[in-house]
Structure 1
Amino acid sequence: MPWSVQGQPALRLEAIDVVLHLCRHAVVQHKVYGAFRSLCDLVQVTEGWGQREWEVLSQRALDYGLARPVYLMLVLAGQMLKLAVPAQVLSGLRPPGRVPAPDELMRLLMRSHGATPAPVSAGAVQAATEGTLGAQLRHLAGNLFLSREGMAMLYKIPAGSPWIWLAYLWRPVDLLWRYGLSTWRALRGERGARAIWQREVWLERWLRGGEQLDEL
């Protein structure tokens, strides 16, 4: 959408695409942690929307493969901030199969009040959602030992530098430092750590199209 900044032409996202970005950013990238700010932005952007805007949002979410993140954010905004979303829009975005009730979704995803109680390895969560043990181990190995380019980006070392090999030695230590304690607590079955792990795995599976609710 064209507009101007101090007389200079510029481009910006239109409101519907802003909502899509907010939903993807909050759910896919940040796993709903710290989402209250995005929910407030969502309510502000959609203020005064009519039926047409909601229908276009629904169609674009389906076209871009963002139906689940958008549905989740609209439900949370309705529960927490009383956002009035047309019923047919929510029903059109609602995934097939079993979906937690709106109040249950809010309890599951927002009970930490937006703060991450313990660090959880995204690579380990993604591995847990793989089907077979072999696939899980391959995913873990790929997350542990990234490509040279990935290690270079992560540790700010030129990919062609011989120092990159030290990064491979440091990588297991780094992951243990970041996630070792929280992982150990989850493995021991400590209630808080286990609940966070189950939340992360459920959300990852649900975003991928799964319907399992027994982890919760």
Structure 2
Amino acid sequence: MHLLRIDASIQGDRSASSALADLVLDRVTAAHPAVPVVRRHLGQDPLPSDAWGNALAGSATPEQDRNERQRHALALAERLATELQQATAVVLAFPLYNYGVSQHVKAWIDLTVVGAEHGVRLLDGTPTVLVVTRGGAYGPGTPRDGWDHSTGYARRILVDHWGADLTIVERDFTLVGVNPALDEFTETAVTMRKTAEESAISAGESLAARHAA
């Protein structure tokens, strides 16, 4: 078993998405203490903002004509793609920011796409847990129903493009207790947090069980 974990929160120790990812990972490492875990924290250690453009330009340039920035960017892109392809289990903690994925996640996806060989499904059948957290509520019947442009996009990339065997753990109302305008939803938020934590634990146990054989 070789596990890849990627976080994208900018909230540090207060991150709701990282807390749920911790629950997933804890169940896996409890069952498999020696499992190697590769970690990337895109929020704390962002990928260079110009890397995608340089990698894309470099991929269209003969190797002998590439400049130093293009060579470095392509090497980074290939490393990201290799990390993903070598993983036998993946945990991703991607909070919703401004109704979509963060710039950190988009940079990672774009670079990874460039770094992969054309047509290769980097996560073909790989069990993957995607943790999604949202400050408000975005479910059916809410005023923001349809405003979450993160989860569908991530599913399209992870499943349709890369072939992941995907499980999604979701938690809404993470800003309850932070934003006074949401105080009326305190009880609902507590229930949602408990449900999300139970889902994260279950997802971690499923990952551990799949690699027990």
What TM-score do you get using the length of structure 1 for normalisation?
Answer: 0.32
Higher relative contact order (CA 8 A, sep 6+): 2
Which structure has greater helix proportion? Answer: 1
Which structure has greater strand proportion? Answer: 2
What TM-score do you get using the length of structure 2 for normalisation?
Answer: 0.32
